[in-house]
Structure 1
């Protein structure tokens, strides 16, 4: 369980491109050493065939898009239509090859032109049949580089629609809970469970007998998306280790993982078990990146990645205790003295309303130091009206 985080896949690099260039250079050097005249005569033909093939296929795409999708997909804009069908690399390749042939003023025989036509025809057939189509790795790389994965959207939705709203208010909710229960939490952070199987049980007790539900924190009510006083709540669980030492913290599953699991159970979604696992990895990586750069959520969350398929008994409680012990060893970082208020966007005009009143004189709710950031204040005292000053300076 200690090495689960190290299993998160990194972004793919340019190593395949470097290998391809090296192989091409070695092959060209070998042919050049065997017969340099052959290379000079056939290099232009090969380049022309390899650029004309993709250009002709792009022309086929242009016919499909122009005849059937020009208004629905592009609003009749021909510039957008051409950009979608013709990549800049394809156009640049054709232009460069044609210019080189014109500069060299080379004349080819009928047999050589026939080979060009034959190569283009074979390319079109192989491209249509999928022989030259992108591999699953290439498709995954394109989706990751352009942030088009399902996990990317789910992570942003989870942050903007939930975590960004509740995490800034979490310390105050914990403080209100302590003022009522007098039960100090081991950690005031929200522990978000991320199982690689994307299976999230409704009750943590069903997953691990060492964990039991204790209570809910005070409710947070926010007017959101047309719903008045929408309720957000968190649950506090007590965890017992093998030495009967007890820990208490706020724990919940990342609910978007349920969406991934349900998609994998629906054949129409096209998301298999292996793809689902990869999406959980990407969800964890994306959400970590978002939260690390969020000043409002800093020091108020803990992502717990779970390899629940290879886990044994008490795996959930052991992992939570490990994270709690790590938090006890952390060195607190002093927050900045003054921070600007976040801009209030349209649709978020109403401030959160808590169901209980806070007592500012209560002692802290956790043994761990947390960020307590106050709003910016001026160093000057409050202005006092002075009528004499006004009379003397008229």
Structure 2
């Protein structure tokens, strides 16, 4: 799936650029109509809006001081001021008053009445929500300040699960290989993230080409007062159209169940569209966390699943998994060069070099890849010498 067409990018500077452009256009039009009026009009507008913002903050301060001083702020007046007055608001009011003091207050009664009414109506409209933030602004604040449900779920999933099990996953695969001699197509954990957040208990119900095979050996850790808490991973067999089988560790991201159940509960006030946006934000946050985690790097794969394609294609899940596994076959991990020993010349009988894959399992080199054998220097003509290990014909 083309993730660039689904995963939203962070919001940028377009609203600020549009606002600056509109302000410049307004200034040019007013200056063309009456060049002498432009300075006074700008001063009146700036003073009115600054006073309105200040009055609105004072209204907020009244509410917090009278009813929430102890419960929310522990009686700290400084905390209340920080909560009610933003730095931008205070700086803006200060700058406007400095400019006016330098220029002098020479307003007529009509202009003074305009400033008072404008600032008062601004406060009234702001308090009643007529000038309140748009849903886009609320969403941007929640994303930039990490206040969304998805942010908490992603961090909980990482700290409470992935950071514990991913570093031990290769060891669990190695134990499985030593017990059963079964090779997996990939040693990474494949985490499914359907945009609908509907995570079924059995993958066979979604795609018959994905069948449960067996569980990896259990991982036991002491966690939060629980002795030998058990963590499990399931191996699934994925069959393609050519009846070729792939084996890998697959599971859903369990926090998606929380998002799905919230959307099903009317008390949570979580719509299907909100759920989809939270799933995308969960994916973005989790990707960023795992990419910067040394314990989890190169030990996972996040797979986004589009609901419309899943409904249209009966084997959509198996195709996405196989595509991911085939991509991994062409990858060269950064640690592979350090783990592969270089074949060197040895005394005695010649031996084929043994390579160690990135999953830690010893394996003979594939026959399709030629290996370079280095031997010691010899003269151009040599007399055959009897060797007990090899017999020359």
Residue 392 of structure 1 is matched in structure 2 by: none
Shift in Å, 1:5 = 5.0
Instruction: Give per-residue Cα distances to partners, 1:138-179, cap 9 Å, x unaligned.
Output: 000011111111111100100000000000000010011111
Deviates more, 1:142-151 or 1:4-13: 4-13
Instruction: Give per-residue Cα distances to partners, 1:155-205, cap 9 Å, x unaligned.
Output: 010000000000000001001111111111111111000000000000000
SS in 1 for 2:160: helix
- 2: distance between equivalents of 1:297 and 1:42? 59
- 2: distance between equivalents of 1:227 and 1:5? 42
Instruction: Give per-residue Cα distances to partners, 1:289-338, cap 9 Å, x unaligned.
Output: 11111111111111111012332211100000000000001122126979
Deviates more, 1:259-268 or 1:203-212: 259-268
Residue 313 of structure 1 is matched in structure 2 by: 314
- 2: distance between equivalents of 1:34 and 1:72? 55
Residue 55 of structure 1 is matched in structure 2 by: 54
- 1: distance between equivalents of 2:171 and 2:190? 16
- 1: distance between equivalents of 2:67 and 2:337? 57
- 1: distance between equivalents of 2:189 and 2:140? 32
- 1: distance between equivalents of 2:263 and 2:210? 28
- 2: distance between equivalents of 1:55 and 1:335? 62
- Please report the TM-score for the alignment, with normalisation by the length of structure 1: 0.84
- 1: distance between equivalents of 2:335 and 2:104? 72
- 2: distance between equivalents of 1:4 and 1:316? 16
- 2: distance between equivalents of 1:336 and 1:53? 65
- Please report the TM-score for the alignment, with normalisation by the length of structure 2: 0.85
Q: Does the Cα contact within 8 Å between 1:4 and 1:306 map onto a contact in 2? A: no
| Bigger relative contact order, structure 1 or 2 (CA pairs below 8 A, ≥6 apart) | 1
Residue 334 of structure 2 is matched in structure 1 by: 333
Instruction: Give per-residue Cα distances to partners, 1:315-373, cap 9 Å, x unaligned.
Output: 100000000000001122126979xxxxxxxxxxxxxxxxxxxxxxxx99xx963489x
Q: Does the Cα contact within 8 Å between 1:5 and 1:305 map onto a contact in 2? A: no
Instruction: Give per-residue Cα distances to partners, 1:105-145, cap 9 Å, x unaligned.
Output: 13211111111111122212221222210000000001111
Residue 73 of structure 1 is matched in structure 2 by: 72
**1:149/1:336 Cα in 2 relative to 1: closer, same or farther (>3 Å)?**
farther
Q: Does the Cα contact within 8 Å between 1:167 and 1:297 map onto a contact in 2? A: yes
- 1: distance between equivalents of 2:68 and 2:50? 26
**1:368/1:242 Cα in 2 relative to 1: closer, same or farther (>3 Å)?**
farther
Quick check: which has more Rg, 1 or 2? 2
Residue 161 of structure 1 is matched in structure 2 by: 160
Residue 341 of structure 1 is matched in structure 2 by: none
List, as ranges, runs of 4+ consecutive aligned residues in structure 1 with deviation greater than 4 Å.
335-338
Shift in Å, 1:34 = 1.9
Q: Does the Cα contact within 8 Å between 2:309 and 2:316 map onto a contact in 1? A: no
- 1: distance between equivalents of 2:94 and 2:2? 51
Aligned residues: 345
Residue 386 of structure 1 is matched in structure 2 by: none
Unaligned stretches of 5+ residues in structure 1: 339-362, 373-394
CA RMSD, 1 decimal: 1.9
**Aligned pairs (5 A) from 1:103-252:** 103-252=102-251
